[in-house]
Each structure stands twice: as structure tokens, then as C-alpha cells.
Amino acid sequence: MPTPTVLLVDEDLDSLTIYSLMLEHHGYRVLLARGGEDAIRLTSDTLPDVVVTELRVATSEGLSLAEHLKRDSRTAGVPILAVTSFPVRSGWHASGLAACDSYLAKPCAPSRLLAEVERCVSSLIQGNLPLT
């Protein structure tokens, strides 16, 4: 398998920096987006193997980014990891979470995020998730 690509989406520059440096150090190709529209544009050019997104990131249609990606036939099979500090028990966040394959609460140790990304990539390689 070629170098796995991870799309990181967060409005928080510190989170993007910490997570991207850690993932790059472990051999991942990392794409960065500061919002939903940036992420959609990036996925139209390069299909990532995994998306890691802050759950509150939305698109211009008002959907969570995760919902948008799961509705798009091109990105529907890409695993999505939500990382957020917001409660996800009800409402908009709960519907966005339903579109995600995994959820991590902030603050999230980089090693925990790495373990979840590696689990998704391993599942892709083993054929348990569709290869992008």
C-alpha cells in the first residue's frame, strides 16, 4: 500500500500542528484543512485514506463535515474519526457523530489519535474497510 494519507480538519491551528507533526513523523502523508469547505476542496483533488475532524466543523449546507463526506459517493467509504471537546449527546453534534466511524474526546493525546488512525489503516489493508 502506498503511503497512507490523512486529512486533518480543525479550526484550531495548534491541534492541526501537533497532530500533523506526529502523523508525519510516523510516516503518514498529511493534508490540512481549517474548515469544511477547505476539506471538501481537498477531497475533490486527493482522496484521503482517513479523515480526522473536529466534530463541530460544518459545510456551507449546514451539515457536519462527516455527514457531507458520507453522503458523497466518492468519500462515503473513507473512515472518519471525530475529535472534539463538545458534548455529543444530542442535537447537531449527535447527528454528525453518527456519520463517524470513531470518536475521541479532547484533549486527546497524540498517541491515542495515532492508535486510532493506525487501526483504520490496518483495517483498510486487511480489507475490513474499503480501500480509497
Q: In DSSP terms, which residues pair with 53 in a beta bridge?
A: 9, 82
The span from the CA of 103 to the CA of 9, in Å, is 14
Can you give the pLDDT of all 132 residues of the chain as single tens digits? 689 999 999 988 999 999 999 999 999 999 999 999 999 999 999 999 999 998 777 666 656 788 889 999 999 999 999 888 776 555 545 566 778 888 888 888 999 999 999 998 888 777 755 444
Which domains are delineated in the chain? 5-124 (3.40.50.2300)
pTM for this prediction: 0.86
Q: What is the pLDDT of residue 132?
A: 45
Cell of 104: 475521541
Residue pair 66/53 in contact by the 8 Å Cβ criterion: yes
